[in-house]
C-alpha cells in the first residue's frame, strides 16, 4: 500500500506502524499527524477513501470521527467561558430558560453529570437533523439519576446539550461558532456540519458489524448492558433511533456536536497543538478543563472513567496515558489527544471502524510516536 506524506528524522517508526496497519490490521484508508512542541513531525495518509468507488485517500480527505468530536464541542463552550460570555457554574436555565431543571449548572453538561444521557422517547434521525425537536425532548426529559453525582456518558445528548447552550450564549450554532472563532482563524480543517461544497472530500465510513440479536443472558455480566435494550447503556446509544448514518449527505451537513465532526488528522492534531500553545484557551482555563472533575465507574459505559470539562482523561492502563494527557477517542478507532508533559499533539482518523477490544491501530501509532 503506497503511503504519502512526511516524517521528521527520528519519527520513522510511526511510518512503519502506519504501514503495518494496512498490512496486518485491515486498515482501508487513514491519516495520522503528530506535532511536537508546535512543530509538525508526522503527516501521513494513505489507502482508499471510498471502497465503493476506489477513490483514493488524499492529503485533503476528511473523515467523520464520531465521539472524538466531543472535545472540539467542549472547546467551543470553554472558549465562550474564557471570554466571559458563559459562566460554567451558572444554571443551564439562565441561558436556556425552557430547559428548567435549575439544579443543573453548565459545568455538569461538560462532565456528563446532568443525568440526561438517554431520552424516554428517542428521536428520529430526521428530528436530530432538525435540531429543535431534540431541544424540546431535552427540555421535557427528567434526569435519570441525581445530577451532579455520578458520571454517565451522554453519547448523543452531550452534543445537543452543550450545543444549545453555545447557541443561546453566542447567538450562533456550535458549528458556526467553531468555524468563525476557532477552526477558521487557526486554519484547522475540521467541521461540525460539513458544507455540501466539501462533501466530495469526505471518506466513506465502513462500520464494524454488531449483532444485536445476541441474548444478553448468554454473555459475561460486564457485557450484558451493551446488548440489553432496557439498560441505560443501550438507551443512551439509542437516543436517536434508528442508528444515525453519517455517510448520509443530510447528516454530514447537519450539526451533531457529539458525533459528526469531520476533519483531517492534520486538523485534529493541529487543534490539540493550538490548545497546548494557548491559541484557543487561556492556560488557566485549559488547566482546569484538563484536571479530573469527576471519576469512578461510569453509569452508562460501566467502566472506570476520569472526566475533565468536556475532555476525556486516560486511565493509567490506557495506551495514551500521561499524567496530564487529555483528549477524546471515537467509535471505531479515531483518536485526538495532547500530552502537555511531552509537548505532543496527536490526531488519527480512519474510515474502517473496528471493535475496540481488537483494535490496536491507534495504540501502535501512539507507541511509535513516543518511541
Catalytic residues: 67
Q: How far is CA 222 from the centre of its chain?
A: 24
Which cell is 220 given?
459475561
Cα–Cα distances in angstroms (integers) from residue 169 to residues 28, 85, 108, 221, in the given order: 41, 7, 17, 43
Which cell is 370 given?
513516543
Which cell is 22 given?
494496512
The continuous run of DSSP H or E covering 274 comes out as helix 265-276
Which cell is 75 given?
472547546
Q: How far is CA 25 from the centre of its chain?
A: 23
Strand ranges (E), the chain: 3-7, 29-36, 39-50, 55-56, 63-64, 190-192, 261-263, 294-297, 304-307, 312-313, 326-329, 335-339, 344-350
Q: Which of 258, 266, 204 is nearest to 48 (CA)?
A: 204
Question: What are the residues facing 34 on neighbouring strands?
Answer: 42, 346
Which cell is 47 given?
489507502
Amino acid at each position: 500500500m503506497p503511503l504519502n506524506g512526511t516524517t521528521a528524522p527520528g519519527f520513522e517508526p510511526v511510518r512503519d506502524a502506519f504501514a503495518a496497519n494496512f498490512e496486518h490490521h485491515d486498515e482501508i484508508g487513514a491519516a495520522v499527524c503528530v506535532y511536537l512542541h508546535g512543530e509538525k513531525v508526522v503527516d501521513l495518509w494513505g489507502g482508499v477513501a471510498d471502497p465503493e468507488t476506489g477513490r483514493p485517500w488524499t492529503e485533503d480527505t476528511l473523515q467523520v470521527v464520531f465521539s472524538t468530536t466531543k472535545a472540539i464541542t467542549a472547546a467551543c463552550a470553554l472558549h465562550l467561558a474564557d471570554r466571559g460570555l458563559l459562566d460554567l457554574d451558572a444554571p443551564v436555565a439562565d441561558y436556556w430558560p425552557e430547559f428548567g431543571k435549575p439544579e443543573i449548572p453548565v459545568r455538569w453538561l461538560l462532565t456528563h453529570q446532568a443525568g440526561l444521557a438517554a431520552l424516554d422517547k428517542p428521536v428520529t434521525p430526521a428530528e436530530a437533523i432538525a435540531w429543535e425537536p431534540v431541544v424540546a425532548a431535552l427540555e421535557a426529559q427528567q434526569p435519570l439519576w441525581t445530577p451532579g453525582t455520578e458520571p454517565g456518558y451522554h453519547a448523543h445528548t452531550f452534543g445537543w446539550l452543550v450545543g444549545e447552550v453555545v447557541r443561546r450564549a453566542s447567538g450562533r450554532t456550535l458549528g458556526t461558532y467553531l468555524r468563525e472563532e476557532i477552526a477558521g482563524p487557526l486554519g484547522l480543517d475540521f467541521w461540525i456540519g460539513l458544507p455540501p461544497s466539501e462533501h466530495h472530500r469526505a471518506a466513506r465510513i465502513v462500520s464494524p458489524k454488531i449483532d444485536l440479536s445476541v441474548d444478553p443472558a448468554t454473555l459475561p455480566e460486564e457485557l450484558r448492558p451493551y446488548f440489553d435494550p432496557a439498560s441505560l447503556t443501550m438507551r443512551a446509544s439509542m437516543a436517536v433511533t434508528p442508528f444515525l448514518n453519517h455517510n448520509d449527505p443530510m447528516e454530514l451537513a447537519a450539526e451533531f456536536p457529539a458525533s459528526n465532526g469531520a476533519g483531517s488528522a492534520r486538523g485534529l492534531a493541529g487543534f490539540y497543538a493550538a490548545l497546548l500553545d494557548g491559541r484557543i484557551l487561556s492556560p488557566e482555563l485549559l488547566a482546569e478543563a484538563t484536571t479530573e472533575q469527576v471519576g469512578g465507574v461510569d453509569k452508562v459505559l460501566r467502566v472506570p472513567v476520569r472526566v475533565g470539562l468536556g475532555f476525556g482523561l486516560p486511565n493509567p492502563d490506557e495506551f495514551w496515558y500521561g499524567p496530564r494527557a487529555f483528549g477524546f477517542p471515537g467509535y471505531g478507532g479515531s483518536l485526538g489527544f495532547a500530552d502537555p508533559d511531552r509537548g505532543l499533539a496527536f490526531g488519527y482518523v480512519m474510515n474502517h471502524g473496528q471493535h475496540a477490544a481488537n483494535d490496536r491501530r491507534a495504540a501502535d501509532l501512539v507507541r511509535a510516536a513516543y518511541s
